[in-house]
Amino acid sequence: MSPLPNTRVIPVGWAEHHRPVVAETQTAPAVLLRSTGEKPPYPLPEGWTSETTLWEGNVRLQQRNRSEDPVSGLQPTQLREYLITGPVELLQDLQVGESGDTFLVLGQRYRAMQGFRGSLLWEADILCTFNETQGAGNGS
């Protein structure tokens, strides 16, 4: 409810006016990758990858204050949750879940688990997991 009749709490055009400021907080270089499902050839050629790049740009990365320690097949694991915030275009074709897309941010891999719009119309918030288990393959 507005404090005065016929006034708005947030002025018209406020969001677009402040969009560049929010975009400047996204400072971590990131690459969004998707597995092609190809099996590696033998012998493995140098530089071969089974992933394709879907997007490159900057994001904001925040660790959530929750961790899970599930035991899968008697192998203890430690998963940490992270929130990756980037442009809303990331949600257009994002695949989430255990076999979903992967973000490579500052040399670490984060698995996209859930995507949703942020509180600002041009932002996407993507809940990701990072596997800190020893030998987990760099977070995937």
Q: Taking the CA of residue 87 as centre, how many other CA atoms within 13 Å lie in the half-sphere pointing to its CB? A: 14
Query: Which CATH number goes with the domain that contains 84?
Result: 2.40.10
Q: List the structure tokens of 15.
A: 């969001």
**What are the tens digits of pLDDT across the range 24-38?**
888 999 999 999 888
Q: List the structure tokens of 2.
A: 């507005």
**What are the tens digits of pLDDT across the range 80-123?**
899 999 988 899 999 999 889 999 999 999 999 999 986 667 78
Asked whether residue 80 is domain-assigned, the answer is yes
Asked whether residue 7 is domain-assigned, the answer is no
Specify the length of the chain in residues.
Answer: 140
Asked whether residue 29 is domain-assigned, the answer is yes
